[in-house]
Amino acid sequence: MIALAVLYVLLHAQFIAAIQIMVYAGAIMVLFIFVIMLLNLSKRDEEAGEGKLFLQKPSAIILGIVLFVMIGVVTLKSVLQGTKGEYTPENINSIGNTQLVGKLLFTDYVFPFEIASILLFVAILGAIVLTKKGVLGKSE
Amino acid sequence: MIPLTWYLILSGILFTIGVIGVLIRRNAIVIFMCIELMLNAVNLSFITFSRQLDSMDGQIFVFFIMTVAAAEAVVGLAIIVALFKNKATVDVDEVNLMKW
């Protein structure tokens, strides 16, 4: 995840790189580690699912390789072209990447921005409701 | 400068690893991490195309994808916690309550 942030810096997307480190390394990974700690899994759980997938495993690997080959062929064969926008790296660096992202977020993309805030709010509420005591276990 | 094609190839590799992981693992947490990996692969190709086309739209989209990924991680992990409380396992094969 941090390596991806480095790649974003190389692609002149410094703001996204900072967000990547904050959201993924800072928030999501900590959340994962907390849940793994809370669940307190044993070795038995780890091996429980083995042996049931005797047909799915090799076919999944073969299909995965096929998928990768298809992606690779399409990527290598196609020529990257299209209508160039106005934001060349020199242009972006003269204004500032973060300032430009902020300007676009509050002008052209203000409606998706508000939707995203509502989505985050609903996610908070959903997480609280789901982890409350006895929400899913009422029937038993 | 590294050719932009290599970024797309890396994105493809990451996405393929995510797909294979979802298909062959039965641990809910591992499946969840693989979904995050696929989202990240798509983010990388978005940024690459944004750089290629000299456009900012890709970066804005990545911003929104990260928002959705964070919300999805929160709700998904809450579901896993609730599941573990009920069934004391995170094996997705054990969760067949809605199977017909």
Give the tokens for residue B89. Answer: 């396992």
The least confident of A16-25, A126-135, B1-10 is A126-135
Candidate from A76, A87, A130 with C-beta closest to B79: A130
Are B64 and A56 within 8 A, CB to CB? Answer: no
Phi, psi angle pair for B91, to nearest 5°: -75, 120
Long-range contacts of B68-72 (CB under 8 A, 24+ apart): B68/A116, B68/A119, B69/A23, B69/A28, B69/B36, B69/B39, B70/A23, B70/A27, B70/A28, B70/A120, B70/A123, B71/A119, B71/A120, B71/A122, B71/A123, B72/A123, B72/B35
Give the tokens for residue A23. Answer: 């959201």
* pTM of the full structure: 0.83
Phi, psi angle pair for A43, to nearest 5°: -65, -35
Give the tokens for residue A90. Answer: 């020199």
Convert the pLDDT of each residue in B4-51 to its tens digit: 888 888 999 999 999 998 988 888 888 989 999 999 999 999 998 888
* ipTM value for the complex: 0.78
Q: Shortest Cα distance from B88 to chain A (angstroms)?
A: 9
What domains, with CATH codes, occur in chain B?
A: 26-88 (1.10.287.3510)
The answer to whether A71 and B38 are in contact (CB under 8 A) is: no
CA B70 to CA A126: how far, in whole Å? Answer: 13
Question: B residues 55-94 near A, CB within 8 Å?
Answer: 55-57, 59-60, 62-64, 66-75, 77-86, 89-94
Convert the pLDDT of each residue in B62-75 to its tens digit: 999 999 999 999 89
The ranges assigned to domains in chain A are: 1-40, 95-130
Cβ-in-10-Å burial (0-12, 13-18, 19+) of A110 comes to exposed
CA B73 to CA B89: how far, in whole Å? Answer: 19
Are B40 and A4 within 8 A, CB to CB? Answer: yes
Q: How confident is the model at residue B80 (pLDDT cuts 50, 70, 90)?
A: confident
Helix axes A2-10, B28-52, angle to 10 degrees: 10
Are B16 and A32 within 8 A, CB to CB? Answer: no
